[in-house]
Amino acid sequence: MIQPNADALSVSHKVLRLLITLNWLFGAAILVLLVWTFAAAEFVARALGTDDSPRALLGMRLIMVVGVACTPIANAIFSRLLWIVETVRAGDPFVTENAARLQTIAWSVLALELARFLIVGIANSVSTAARPIHIDLNLSVTPWLAVLLLFVLARVFDHGARMREDLAGTV
């Protein structure tokens, strides 16, 4: 079956493969930097200008830990999207597996949004007048609406897939 949006699906597939690779590379880079802050603590503290503020270095390390922890969460989003794109390319997107994938994506987006709050909290807790760390919260309703939309779409996909299975069983 020829897909009317085959080019868009092909581009989406390539972009998601690239994002998966970049996500793991950036996660590994953050992990290397985190390890380096322990292996060469004095050098890193001097280079960052935090040699007189161990709290700032601790805060940076905690933010790196959150970054490393978010790598598999982002991978869950990208890989599930890739699998959904592959089912669309195959001409059969309304399957129960895609409903589960959308639900996983929703939980993952929620986790990333909560991680953002954690990073802002860490930054604010170690920020001082002498060494300010400027990470703004920038509250937006968009990610929260995206989470709700993803949960609703997951239910729609699940319901549609079950209806289709019931219909196939009656024919």
CA–CA gap between residue 35 and residue 119 (Å, rounded): 19
CA–CA gap between residue 47 and residue 86 (Å, rounded): 46
Single-letter code of the amino acid located at 41: A
Could you report the per-residue pLDDT of 99-137, keeping only the tens digit for each?
Answer: 999 999 999 999 999 999 999 999 999 888 877 778 888
Residue 1 included in any domain: no
Q: pTM of this prediction?
A: 0.87
CA–CA gap between residue 150 and residue 76 (Å, rounded): 14
Residue 138 included in any domain: yes
Domain of 33, in residue numbers: 6-170
Nearest to 88 by CA among 171, 165, 11: 11
If pLDDT is split at 50, 70 and 90, which confidence band does 27 have? very high
Residue 132 included in any domain: yes
Could you report the per-residue pLDDT of 32-87, keeping only the tens digit for each?
Answer: 999 999 999 888 888 877 777 788 889 999 999 999 999 999 999 999 999 999 99
Residue 17 included in any domain: yes
Q: Coil, strand, or helix at residue 132?
A: coil
- Count of domains observed in the chain: 1
